[in-house]
Each structure stands twice: as structure tokens, then as C-alpha cells.
Structure 1
Amino acid sequence: MVSIKDVAAEAGVSVATVSRVLNSHPSVSPDARARVLAAVETLGYRPNAVARSLRTDQTRTLGLVISDVLNPYFTELARSVEEAARALGYSVIIGNADERPDLQDHHVRTLLDRRIDGLLVSPTDGGSPLMLEAARAGTPMVFVDRWIAGVDVPVVRADGREAVRDLVRHLHGLGHRRLAIIAGPAATTTGSERVEAFREALREHGLPLPEELIGQGDFQAASGRRVTEAFLALPEPPDVVFAADNLMALGALDAIRARGLRVPQDIGLAAFDDIPWFVHTDPPITAIAQPTGELGRAAVRALVDRIEGRPPESVTLPARLVVRRSCGEQSPENSPA
């Protein structure tokens, strides 16, 4: 019986290189890949891995790499992906990048080695080398929530620009004029897009966004706390702090309370990415909600279309403003702005 060692000897490469070729791993040179496949054909080596490399077999498994499993938004997204995939006969393996490109690469490599049929990714910090290589090599892939400009991969995301405009209009109507933002990483599309949407919405009302009212966060709670402490130390603190994700909003709330201040009596707080526990804070937090479950289901459909030979489509769904009482509102919960 022909073994993988025989294939490696015939091709003049290592066993590890043969394994990568048989598992469609992108980090193999075209020359080595050609020699391995020629050796496979010459020796008649036909395990399942080779069958998959010839696109005659599937594992019915999808990979999902999310940016931060501690973020309730991504937890809900992962749940909807798993449910949608199961309904279509696929299993899901999940990797948590923890907002680290190196850890994202680790999960992408592991998932490719597991012979997944396709990959869903919420890119961290503008992407990572192996993920970009896999995308450009033609690995079935869909970006969800975040994306990378210039990479030809379908994108499933929410458009929050109109919801941010609604939020600024709402805050302006409440009499707030000095508005600050805790931004996400500028290297991520969601980080840069939300700041720009906020800036544009302020401009429509003739309001400035000075540099002192833009705090650089990283989509995690500690950065929200740090940035808000800096806002509160200003000679003229903001009327409202808008956190560009829910974990940074939690950090902001911690910083406000640590100062002995009250929301909204002393300072208002709003967030992007509504989550279930926002209704249980005191006061409940006004937030922008993304259609997380719909995004997960749409991402799975797009990826399965790609895997099964149908043309996948990018999908953009609207986010919406949910008005509660953290900015001085007197309106009932969930009323429109």
C-alpha cells in the first residue's frame, strides 16, 4: 500500500508539505504543489484528503473565526451561524482571535488543516497574512461584520450610518451639544466607519468633533474605561459619550461610576451594538442594534452558495437606534428616536 512517505519521496518534499497539499493549505508553492499532485497520480495514492483536493469530497464543516468571544455581539453571531449551518447539514468549528492578528492566523491555519469546506471570518486589525493568502488562493470564504478593502470576498454586514445619524439627531433634540466618541481600532472597517459616520452626523447639525473628544479604543472594556477617564478629566467634559461597541460602553460606565457620577444626570452614555443586558442596567442604555441573527444566517447562506458552486452575494442590512434612558430621555423604552 502506498503511504504518504512514498508520495513525499517521489515528489522530493517533506511529509508535512504533502499533508499541506492534500489538505488544500494555501502556504505551499505552486511548484511543490504540482510535484506532489503528480506523485499522487503516479503512485495511485487516493485517500479522502486527495479526493478533497480534487474537489470530489466534502467534510460538511465550516470554520468561523470571530474577533472576541467575550463580546456578546460575537457570541450571538456565532450562535446564529451554528444554527443556520446545522439546518443546511454543516457543522461549525469556532476560533476566537481575541482581537489579535497572530491568533487569527493560528485559527485559520488550524481550520484549514482540519479540511473545512469554507471559512467565515470577522477580520481583526485589517486582517492577517495567512488569512489574506487563503482568500487570494481561492479558499471559499465570507467576511462577516468586518471586511478588508481590496480583497475579493463576499461581505455580510450591517450598515450603521443611518442609525448613527438617528442617534445624533436624537441627542441634539435632547439639548446635547458636546458629544464624544470612543472609537474602535482605525485598522478595522467598523472602527473607521463608525467614527466617520459620527463625524458626518455631527456636521449636519453644525457640531464639531475636536480631537480631544475622539478617544482611541480597541473594542474591549479596558479601553472604554481608559478613554472615558480622559474625557472626564477635561476642563469641559462631554455631555454624552458614544462608545463604538458594547464592551467599551461597559468600560465607560465603570469609569463614570468610579468618579461618583450618575448616568444620565451628570453625563449621558450611548453605545453601538445593543445587547440583552443593556435593558437591565440603571438606567437602560440607549444603543444602536445590529440584526445579528440575520447577519449570521446570511453569512452561512453566502458561504454555502460559494462551496456548492452557486454565485454568492454580499449582503448589507440596516442597523437601528433603540432609545432607552441613558441620555436623559423621558420616553418609554424602545420608542423610536
Structure 2
Amino acid sequence: MASIKDVAHHAGVSVATVSRVLNDHPSVRADTRDRVLTAVAELGYRPNAVARSLRTDQTRTLGLVISDVLNPFFAELARSVEDEARALGYSVVIGNADERPDLQDHHVRTLMDRRIDGLLVTPTDGGSPLMLDAARSGTPMVFVDRWIKGVDVPVVRTDGTDAVRDLVAHLHALGHRRLAIVAGPAATTTGRERVEAFRSALHEFGLALPADFIGQGDFQAESGRRVTARFLDLPEPPDVIFAADNLMALGAMDEIRARGLRVPGDVALAAFDDIPWFVHTDPPITAIAQPTGELGRAAVRALIDRVEGRTTDSVILSARLVTRRSCGEPEGSKP
């Protein structure tokens, strides 16, 4: 009986390409698709997931442990992961850590017990013992969005440094000089790096980031509201509040409005992680957008490379600034 490897060899393509053709993935060129389908017909290949699992000890199943499925960024990421995996002949089992290390460990343990072929993780902390053991156990693993320093696992992530610098340049050009940040958890790489990118950009433009203008959030809306309340209670509040994720930005906006203040008339607001809702708020929110769909697709491809024994490198994508009207941009400004 012909195998998928036989089909790939006969058609002169990779096993991954055969999987894409069999799952009707749109990225395959027409001539390549025709060669694969011809090879399938000539060899009489019939996919059988159960038999394949028994022969290869593979389940064609990937695990995804996501930080917070209610966060629109992670919801979109999960959708792109599931779509790409399905197109390549894999299923995905998702666990929501809810930004809790204990839940993260629970899902990692459960997924590994279910004999998944590989694991995608957005770590919620600096590396619990179970997470470190899983990374070193030989189970194919890829970190996505966040990572654990010192652990030899490929990372698929976005670099927001240039986009944060573009935001600070934009705010400076609008006349803002007192800029504050609602930071993410210091235990996460994204939490730390967004603060450092912000601090570095402010320094470039001759602006300071005093301790009173840094507030520790947890990537949840309530923390955005709490930190914003502290900023607004200062004798000299900031001109701009930059929230290091979308949910904290929405919490910040809630607090500003609860005090009867206006965005951007009384205080400007910007966010990391653009979401579709931001164009519908009043005013629409200036934000840094990540290529979330491509992030998820690239993470799946990297993980399947590891599952199928190929060399995998880390992937770094670029974020971009989307300007709207929440920072005092002129009426009629377009992204």
C-alpha cells in the first residue's frame, strides 16, 4: 500500500505539500496540485488517519496552550492555528490558561498525556518546572508570541520595537511630552520588552519615563482600569496613556469615561495589539497591529517541521503602527 511519502517522492514534492493538496490548501500552485493528484491516482494512495497513527505512533493532533482565549488577539491567533493545522492534515486541541501558570501546567500535562504530536505554547510566566520539563522532554514544541529565555525551543513572535518607536515619534509630533505606560506582567517576555521598547523610544526623543508613569498590569481589562485610575490621580497626570495590550486599553478607556473625561481632549490613549473593535470606538483608537494570522500560520508550519523531523528556526515578524484619532490626530486622519 502506497504511503504519503511514496506520493511525495513520485510527485517530486515534500510530504507537507502532499498534505496541503489533500486538504485543499489554497497556497499550492495549480501545476503542483496536478502533479500530486496524478501521483495519488497512479499509486492508489488512500489516506487513513487511524492506520497512519498505528504505524507511525502519530495522532496527527497538535496541542495549543493559549494565554487567554477571551483576549481578541489570542482568539484570532487560535483561529489561524486551527485553520492552518487543518489544511496540513492535523487537528488542534486548545487549552486556555487564563493567564494562570497553574492552569497552563494543567493543560500541558493533559495534552501530553493524550499523545499529541507537538505542542504550541504562549507561556504565561517565566517557566514553571512542568513547562521546562515538557520543553526538554523531546516533545516537539514551539513557543508563539511569548517565550522562555534560556530554553532551546523555536519561537514564532512579533518584534514591536520599531512600531513602538513609530508610536512615540507620532505622539511627539502631536505635541505630547508626558507619556505613561500600562505594562504587562514583568514575568512575561512581552510584558518586559514592550516597556523597554517604550523607554528606549522616549529616551531617543529626549523624554523621561518616571516611575509614576509606569503601572503594572496583567493583560486584563480590570488592571488597565486600576492603573489608569492611579495615573489620573497624580498631581500632574500624563498626556498619553499607552496600554501594552488591547484589553488593558479598553479598561483604561472605561476609567477615563467613568470620570467624565474625554479621549483625546483630556488624555490621549494608544494600545499595543490592534483589534477590529478599535475602529468602532469613539474615538477610534490608535494602536500597534501584529500580523496575528501569519503568526499563527507560521507557528503551525514550524511545529509540523519539528514533528516531521525537519530543522526549525525561530521566526520574527514585524508589527506596525495604525494611527486613528485617540491621540489628538487631525479630524479625517486615515490609518
TM bucket by the smaller chain?
A: 0.7 to 0.9
Give the structure-1-normalised TM-score: 0.83
Alpha-carbon separation, structure 2, partners of 1:88 and 1:300: 9
- SS of residue matched to 1:116: coil
Gaps of 5+ in 2: 1-51
Find out whether 1:109 has 2:146 as its counterpart.
no
Alpha-carbon separation, structure 2, partners of 1:55 and 1:137: 22
Q: 1:91 is matched by which residue type in structure 2? A: S
**Cα distance per residue 1:143-178 (max 9 Å; x no partner):** 000001000000000000000000000000000000
Give the structure-2-normalised TM-score: 0.83
**Cα distance per residue 1:109-166 (max 9 Å; x no partner):** 1101111000000000213221210101121000000001000000000000000000
Match in the other structure for 1:306:
306
Match in the other structure for 2:264:
264
Find out whether 1:131 has 2:114 as its counterpart.
no
Percent identity over paired residues: 82
Q: How does 1:226-245 map to 2 (within 5 A)?
A: 226-245=226-245
Alpha-carbon separation, structure 2, partners of 1:194 and 1:333: 26
Find out whether 1:294 has 2:300 as its counterpart.
no
- SS of residue matched to 2:300: helix
- 8 Å CA contact 1:104, 1:128 repeated in 2: no
Q: Post-superposition shift, 1:312?
A: 1.0
Match in the other structure for 2:184:
184
- SS of residue matched to 1:93: strand
Alpha-carbon separation, structure 2, partners of 1:192 and 1:120: 21
Q: Post-superposition shift, 1:56?
A: 2.9
Match in the other structure for 2:37:
none
Match in the other structure for 2:251:
251
CA RMSD of aligned residues (A): 1.5
**Cα distance per residue 1:283-324 (max 9 Å; x no partner):** 000000000000000000000000001101210000000000
TM-aligned CA distance change 1:60 to 1:201, over 3 Å: same
Match in the other structure for 1:20:
none
- SS of residue matched to 1:283: coil
Alpha-carbon separation, structure 1, partners of 2:140 and 2:132: 12
Alpha-carbon separation, structure 2, partners of 1:171 and 1:331: 16
- 8 Å CA contact 1:123, 1:147 repeated in 2: yes
Match in the other structure for 1:315:
315
Q: Post-superposition shift, 1:86?
A: 0.3
Alpha-carbon separation, structure 1, partners of 2:87 and 2:98: 28
- SS of residue matched to 1:164: helix
Q: Post-superposition shift, 1:57?
A: 1.8
Match in the other structure for 1:280:
280
Match in the other structure for 1:95:
95
Match in the other structure for 1:154:
154
Find out whether 1:81 has 2:71 as its counterpart.
no
Alpha-carbon separation, structure 1, partners of 2:301 and 2:127: 23
Alpha-carbon separation, structure 2, partners of 1:250 and 1:94: 26
Q: 1:290 is matched by which residue type in structure 2? A: Q
Alpha-carbon separation, structure 2, partners of 1:225 and 1:143: 29
TM-aligned CA distance change 1:334 to 1:131, over 3 Å: farther
- SS of residue matched to 1:329: coil
- SS of residue matched to 2:251: helix
Match in the other structure for 1:5:
none
TM-aligned CA distance change 1:90 to 1:183, over 3 Å: same
